[in-house]
Chains A and B, each alone.
Chain A
Amino acid sequence: GGPSARDGREVLRLGHGLDPSHPVHRAMEAMADELARRTGGRLRLEIFPSEQLGSERELLELLQIGSVELTKVSASVLESFAPSFRVLGVPYLFDDTEHQWRVLEGPVGDRLLASPEAVRLRGLAFYDAGARSFYTRDRPIRTPEDLAGLKIRTQESPSAIAMVRALGGNATPISWGELYTALQQGVVDGAENNPPSFHLSHHYEVARFYSLDEHTAVPDVLLASTALWKRLGAADREHLLAAARHSARIQRRLWKEASDEALRAVREAGVQVDTVDKAPFARRTAALRDELAREPEMAELLEAIEAQRLAVTEALP
Chain B
Amino acid sequence: MSGALVLLLALGLLLVLGVPVAFALGLASAAALASQIATEPALVTVAQRSVTGLDSFSLLAIPFFVLSGELLNRGGVARRLIAFGKALVGALPGGMLVVDGVACLLFGSLSGSAVAATAAVGSFLVPRMERDGYPRSATTALTMTASTTGLLIPPSNILIVYALASGGVSVAALFWAGYLPGILVGVLLVAAALLSNRRSLPRARRREPGELGRATRGALPALLLIVVVMGGITVGAFTATEAAAVAVLYSLGLCALYREIGVRELPDVFRQAAATSGVVLLLVATSMAMAWVLAFERVPQRVAETLLEAASGAAGGWLVLLGINLLLLVAGTFLDMTPAVLIFTPLFLPVVSSLGFDPVHFGIILVLNLCIGLCTPPVGTVLFVGLGVGRLGLGELLPKLLPLYAAMIVALVLVTAFPGLSLWLPRLLGL
Contact = CB atoms under 8 A, between A and B. Distances in A.
Given A184-B155, A186-B235, A205 B172 contact: yes
B196 interface: no
B44 A65 contact: yes
A178 B233 CA distance: 13
A254 interface: no
B295 A53 contact: yes
A181 B240 contact: yes
Which of B58, B241, B295 counts the most A-chain CB atoms under 10 A from its CB?
A: B295
A205 B45 contact: no
Contact of A178 (B33, B35, B57, B295): B57
Contact of A51 (B112, B236, B342): B342
A268 B165 CA distance: 21
Interface string A140-182: 0000000000000000000000000000000000110110111
B296 A53 contact: yes
A67 B297 CA distance: 12
A187 B343 contact: no
Contact of A181 (B33, B42, B239): B239
Contacts of A55: 52
Contacts of B408: none
Given A13-B296, A65-B48, A182-B239, A177 B37 contact: no
B38 A187 contact: no
Most B CB atoms within 10 A — which of A1, A48, A51, A67? Answer: A67
Interface residues of B, number: 46
A200 interface: yes
Nearest to B347: A20
Interface stretch (B138-146, B156-164, B179-187, B204-212): B156-164
Contacts of B235: 185-186
Contacts of A275: none
Contact of A2 (B38, B167, B236, B346): B38
B236 A1 contact: no
Q: Which of A51, A52, A205 has the most CB of B within 10 A?
A: A52
A3 interface: yes
Contacts of A13: 296
A175 B36 CA distance: 33
A185 B56 CA distance: 21
Nearest to A137: B236
SS class, residues of chain A in contact with chain B: loop
B36 A4 contact: yes
A185 B171 CA distance: 14
B175 to A, nearest CB: 10
Interface string B332-376: 000000010011001000000000000000000000000000000
Contact of A202 (B35, B48, B163): B163
B380 to A, nearest CB: 19
A313 interface: no
Interface residues of A, number: 38
B298 interface: yes
B41 A67 contact: yes
A46 B241 contact: no
Contacts of B236: 185-187
A202 B164 contact: yes
B340 to A, nearest CB: 11
A180 B170 contact: no
Given A65-B48, A187-B239, A202-B171, A50 B57 contact: no
A61 interface: yes
Which of B41, B49, B52, B342 gathers most chain A CB within 10 Å?
A: B41
B34 interface: yes
A10 interface: no
A20 B73 CA distance: 47
Q: Which of B233, B238, B296 has the most CB of A within 10 A?
A: B296
A202 B52 contact: no
A66 B42 CA distance: 9
Given A50-B165, A185-B236, A187-B239, A1 B45 contact: no
A58 interface: yes
Contacts of B37: 1-4, 66-67
Interface string A42-67: 00001011111111001001100111
B58 A67 contact: no
Contacts of B35: 1
Given A1-B39, A53-B296, A62-B48, A19 B157 contact: no
A306 B10 CA distance: 59
B342 A50 contact: yes
Contacts of A66: 37-38, 41
B38 A3 contact: yes
Interface of B: 33-39, 41-42, 44-45, 48-49, 52, 56-58, 112, 155, 157, 160-161, 163-165, 167, 170-172, 233-241, 292, 295-296, 298, 339, 342-343, 346
4 smallest CB-CB distances across A and B, nearest first, come from: A186-B236, A185-B236, A50-B342, A66-B41
24 contacts: A1-B34, A2-B38, A4-B37, A19-B165, A20-B346, A21-B167, A50-B165, A50-B342, A53-B292, A53-B295, A58-B48, A65-B44, A67-B37, A67-B42, A177-B58, A178-B241, A181-B160, A181-B240, A185-B233, A186-B235, A186-B236, A202-B164, A202-B170, A202-B171
Given A1-B37, A181-B239, 4 more contacts: A1-B39, A50-B342, A53-B296, A186-B236
